[in-house]
Amino acid sequence: MSVNLRTVYAFAREMYPKKVNENINYGTAGFRGEAKKLEYVMYRMGLLATLRSRIKNGQVIGVMITASHNPEPDNGVKLVDPMGEMLEPKWEKIATELVNVSDNELESKVASIIKELNIDIGTHCNVYVGMDNRYHSPILLKAVADGVIALKGNVKEFGIITTPMMHYFVVCANTKGSYGIPTEEGYYKKIIGAFESIRGNQLENGNYKNRLMFDGANGVGARKMIQFLKRMNGSLNCEIFNKGEGKINENCGADFVKVQQKVPNGMPEGIEANVRCVSVDGDADRVVYFFTDSNGKFQLLDGDRIATLVANYLMSLVKKCGLKLKMGLVQTAYANGASTDYIVNELKVPVSCVSTGVKHLHHKALEYDIGIYFEANGHGTVVFSDEAKEMIKSISELSQNPEQKNAANNFIDVINLINETVGDAISDMLLVETILHSKGWDVREWFDTYTDLPNKLLKIKVQDRNVIVTADAERICVKPEGLQDEIDKITSNYKRGRSFVRPSGTEDVVRVYAEAATKSDVDQLAYEVSQVVYKMAGGTGAEPTPPETIYNSHI
Ligand code: NG1
Ligand code: ZN
């Protein structure tokens, strides 16, 4: 196959000219920004995906168009590597360079990447493209596809899908179907099949009631949940809200619920006490639960809660199978201190803390036979080693002990229910439902396993957020000098006080996290830390305001 690099420039000039001068970076979640400025970025990511596929011997590379939990005017793009991982860091740098050159330099930049990495441009390559349901996504999808076509790649468009569906399709394709079938139906079939096999005909158990309220964030998660329910024959009684009537993520969805700690708009006022409610984000890779207690108080069950529930359940399955498997749980500094205590003291599972960003968590989780990872915001999954899967399978096939055999069969279903390729809101939710059903628990029993420390997440605008440099999985601030000493001094005044700061990887802000023994303490602690950050890291705009008003104005 002969590829004429001149086409790369022709397409760029005619259809996707770069009209902005500012440089952008491939961050933790790819490129994000105002949708109207992204067409040239998408086209260039299409080009890059073909090079990435070619260097990986024609394996499928995924391109997902979404701005996840960000507001409706934004969009974004991220590349999915052959085994479902996020794009390799070395290529994040290449992506950044490719996007920032001028149209005139584009052809020679592509040529130099091909030369430096010794890419055989005449070979076949395969790119999958999918998008969330933002109104500007189709135009951006076409730009990616044109990038692939410009370099003579094969492009397969999946239309509107969730981010985790894209990861699943890529892995299925690259493992020749052994992980599943790389189609939308294949995805539903695998997950629903596993869910219904475990649940059987008994839809309720003990205090577990088959009733769930689902906030779809007006995003793609709502649409796909409708598709799940159509295929589920009533095995899950789930009512869907925020199906697309309003703007994506606006006052609803997992990020809103986690940060604001309140019921999203679009759900009925005065939901009955103890009814399980669930919120996903705009591209359905995050999930959190919440409920209103019998005193009318909002209660949140975030990613840490899901991780602990899952760890507890999987431990019991491992035990029932009579296996010895290395299990570990991976968190970030945003995990509630109470959850970490519970994991260490009650569950007695090894726990590690890594930097923010799924790639760090996923990578660490792969060190275990069973690696459970969750960000507090609800993004996470479980990964199983091939050896662990083999052991479970052989017990299921060979065991003479009916209880043990049954546990192994159950375990296989649970593994099939989990989307190991990346955090998947719907698959995670069905896993939680499965566990609560099997334990016969209502939401209150889950909630009572431990008590979260009151916590707060604030944003501070500064001139240049990169003046903040962190170490030790972002728990320590090493620059600007002296800031950590100030944080330590403030924190030491509060019982169970903990606070850290870091520059966001997806927004132009510095994030301040704080937790303490009481609500008023955490408000005051977050305020004091914000003040020193504002002073020492070059805050701009309004100064942090004291606790009485901080709650609404700074989140
Ligand atoms: P930043 O903006 O770097 O804090 C946010 C989340 C991350 C991760 C990314 C990617 C928090 C505090 N941060 O990153 O955990 O999910 O978005 O979407 O939730
Ligand atoms: Zn997301």
Q: What is the per-residue pLDDT for 3? A: 86
Is the Cβ atom of 375 under 6 angstroms away from ligand 1?
yes
Quote the strand ranges of 395-497, DSSP E. 455-460, 469-471, 476-479
- Show the 3-state SS of 181-220: CCCHHHHHHHHHHHHHHHHCCCCCECCECCCEEEECCCCH
CA of 354 to the centre of ligand 2 (A): 19
Which ligand places an atom closest to the C-alpha of 163?
A: 2
Give yes or no for a contact between 332 and 377, defined as CB atoms under 8 angstroms apart: no
Ligand 2 centroid–CA 255 distance in Å is 9
- Full set of structural domains in the chain with CATH: 6-160 (3.40.120.10), 186-300 (3.40.120), 303-447 (3.40.120.10), 455-549 (3.30.310.50)
Q: Is the CB of 331 under 6 A from ligand 1?
A: no
What count of other Cβ atoms lies within 10 Å of the Cβ of residue 407?
A: 23
pLDDT number for residue 422: 96
| DSSP of 306-321 | HHHHHHHHHHHHHHHT
Reading the block at residue 481, the tokens are: 């000098």
Ligand 1 atom with least separation from CA of 69: 18
Residues making up the chain, counted from first to last? 555
DSSP-assigned states of every residue in 55-90: HTTT-EEEEEE--TTS-TTEEEEEEE-TTSPBPPHH
Torsion of CA 499, 503, 505, 507, to 10 degrees: 100
Told to judge if 553 belongs to the known catalytic residues of this protein, a careful annotator would answer no
pLDDT on residue 167: 98
What's residue 505's pLDDT?
86
Dist. CA 293–CA 272, nearest whole Å = 8
For each successive 10 residues of the chain (555 residues), what is the average pLDDT? 89 95 89 95 98 98 97 97 94 97 97 97 97 97 98 98 98 96 98 97 96 98 98 96 97 96 93 96 98 96 98 97 97 98 96 94 97 98 98 96 97 98 97 98 98 95 95 96 97 98 91 97 97 96 78 39
CB-ligand 1 contact for 413 (6 Å cutoff): no
pLDDT score recorded for residue 553: 37
Q: Best mutation site among 25, 26, 28 for ligand 1, i.e. most ligand atoms within 8 A of its Cβ?
A: 28
CB-side neighbour CA atoms (13 Å) of 122: 2
**Residue 550: its pLDDT value, please?**
44
Is 199 close to ligand 1, i.e. is its CB under 6 Å away?
A: no
Q: Centre a 10 Å sphere on the Cβ of residue 139 and count the other Cβ atoms it contains.
A: 16
Task: State residue 269's pLDDT score.
Answer: 82
